[in-house]
C-alpha cells in the first residue's frame, strides 16, 4: 500500500513547481485562448483547434494560461503540464510519441508585441525568432528552421525551370488534384504508401494517420500529383490564418521513386507554394511557410534558415 504521507508530499512539491511556472499567469478558458490567438496571431502548432483536437486524441488535457496587462490579456499559452501543448517531449514522456506527427513545427504564441518581456517557464522548442522581444527565458537552439523565401528572391531562371518541369510532367500524362477531393482515409493511404516508397520506412504516426487527417482535414492544403491515373507525390500541409498572416506548415511528403524522371517532388513543391502565395496575396496578408528543420538538399533551394529558440 502506498505511503499516504509520501503521496501528499509529492503532490505538494508538484503544486509548488506549478505555482512557480505559472506565477503571473492566469488560467483562462479555451474560448478565451482562441480569441487571443485570432487577435494576436499564431502558428499551426498553437492553433486552438489543433491544440484541442490533438490533445483529445492523445488524451492529454490542455490548459490555457493568459498574461494580463492593464486589465486586458496580451498573451496566452496552451500547456500540457510543464510543457507547451503538442510538445514532442511531453508525448515521449507519456509513451505517445507516434500518435501524431507535426514534424518540427514553428511555434508562434499569441502575444501583443511591444510590451515587456513576459516570463515563459514552460518547456518548448522551435519558438519563432520574433519571440525574443516578447518572452524572457528563451535560449537559442542549435537547429534552425527553413522558411520559404519571398517571391522576389527566386531568379527568373529558377522560375522558368519550375514551369518547364511542370509542363513536362503534364505532357507525360500527369495531373493535379487538390487534397480536398480525397477523404481523410484515402489521403492517409496515399501518404503512407508514398512515404514508404520514398524513405523505405513507415510514416511516423501511420497507425492513427486516418484519424488525425479526419480531425484536421479542414486545415489541410496542397495537391496530389497523379501520373497516368496513379498518385505519385503528396505532401502533408497544414494552413491556418490569423489576423496578420497565413501560416503554412509542411510536415513531410511521399514520392513514387519510379516516377523520378518527371521530378514529381520538385513539381509538387512548386505547385503548393504558388497556391499558398496566391492565397496570402489575395487576403493581403504575409505568408509564413515553414519546411521544418533545416538540412542539406532541396530545402536550400526554396528556403532561408531562420533561428529558433527553446525554453
pLDDT tens readout for residues 159-197: 999 999 999 999 999 999 999 999 999 999 999 999 999
The full set of domain ranges for the chain reads 4-144, 147-306
Angle between helices 48-58 and 209-216 (to 10 degrees): 150
Backbone angles phi, psi at 228, to 5 degrees: 55, 40
Q: What is the pLDDT along the chain (311 residues), one digit of tens a residue?
A: 555 554 554 445 445 578 788 899 999 999 999 999 999 999 999 999 999 999 999 999 999 999 998 888 999 999 999 999 999 999 999 999 999 999 999 999 999 987 779 999 999 999 999 999 999 999 999 999 999 999 889 999 999 999 999 999 999 999 999 999 999 999 999 999 999 999 999 999 999 999 999 999 999 999 999 999 999 999 999 999 999 999 999 999 999 999 999 999 999 999 999 999 999 999 999 999 999 999 878 899 999 999 999 99
The pLDDT, as a whole number, for residue 3 is: 58
Give the C-alpha distances (Å, rounded to integers) separating 139 from 145, 172, 221, 309. Answer: 15, 50, 32, 5
Sign of CA dihedral 160, 162, 163, 169: positive
Residue with cell 490542455: 62
* C-alpha to C-alpha distance for 224 and 214, rounded to whole angstroms: 17
Give the C-alpha distances (Å, rounded to integers) separating 297 from 146, 249, 294. Answer: 12, 18, 9
Here the cell at position 99 is 500518435
* C-alpha to C-alpha distance for 195 and 75, rounded to whole angstroms: 38
pTM (two decimals) = 0.93
The pLDDT, as a whole number, for residue 11 is: 44
CB 66 within 8 A of CB 36: yes
The pLDDT, as a whole number, for residue 125 is: 97
154 contact partners, CB below 8 Å, separation of at least 6: none
Superfamily designation of domain 147-306: Gcn5-related N-acetyltransferase (GNAT) (3.40.630.30)
Return the number of other C-beta atoms located less than 10 Å from residue 90's C-beta. 22
Amino acid at each position: 500500500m502506498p505511503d499516504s504521507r509520501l503521496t501528499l508530499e509529492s503532490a505538494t512539491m508538484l503544486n509548488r513547481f506549478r505555482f512557480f511556472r505559472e506565477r503571473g499567469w492566469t488560467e483562462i478558458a479555451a474560448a478565451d485562448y482562441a480569441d487571443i490567438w485570432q487577435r494576436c496571431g499564431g502558428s499551426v502548432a498553437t492553433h486552438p483547434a489543433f491544440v484541442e483536437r490533438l490533445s483529445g486524441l492523445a488524451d492529454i488535457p490542455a490548459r490555457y494560461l493568459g498574461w494580463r496587462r492593464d486589465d486586458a490579456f496580451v498573451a496566452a499559452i496552451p500547456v500540457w503540464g510543464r510543457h507547451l501543448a503538442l510538445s514532442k517531449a511531453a508525448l515521449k514522456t507519456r509513451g505517445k510519441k507516434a500518435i501524431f506527427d507535426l514534424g518540427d513545427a514553428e511555434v508562434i504564441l499569441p502575444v501583443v508585441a511591444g510590451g515587456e518581456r513576459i516570463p515563459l517557464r514552460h518547456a518548448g522548442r522551435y519558438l519563432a525568432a520574433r519571440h525574443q522581444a516578447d518572452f524572457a527565458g528563451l535560449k537559442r537552439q542549435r537547429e534552425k528552421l527553413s522558411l520559404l523565401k519571398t517571391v522576389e528572391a527566386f531568379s527568373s531562371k529558377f522560375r522558368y525551370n519550375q514551369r518547364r518541369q511542370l509542363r513536362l510532367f503534364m505532357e507525360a500524362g500527369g495531373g493535379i488534384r487538390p487534397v480536398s477531393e480525397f477523404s481523410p482515409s484515402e489521403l492517409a493511404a496515399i501518404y503512407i504508401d508514398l512515404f514508404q516508397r520514398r524513405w523505405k520506412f513507415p510514416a511516423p504516426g501511420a497507425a492513427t494517420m486516418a484519424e488525425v487527417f479526419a480531425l484536421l482535414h479542414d486545415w489541410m492544403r496542397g495537391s496530389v500529383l497523379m501520373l497516368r491515373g496513379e498518385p505519385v507525390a503528396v505532401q502533408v500541409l497544414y494552413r491556418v490564418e490569423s489576423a496578420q498572416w497565413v501560416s503554412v506548415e509542411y510536415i513531410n511528403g511521399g514520392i513514387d521513386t519510379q516516377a523520378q524522371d518527371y521530378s514529381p517532388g520538385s513539381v509538387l513543391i512548386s505547385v503548393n507554394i504558388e497556391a499558398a502565395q496566391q492565397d496570402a496575396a489575395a487576403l493581403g496578408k504575409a505568408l509564413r511557410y515553414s519546411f521544418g528543420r533545416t538540412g542539406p538538399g532541396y530545402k536550400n533551394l526554396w528556403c532561408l534558415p531562420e533561428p529558433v529558440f527553446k525554453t
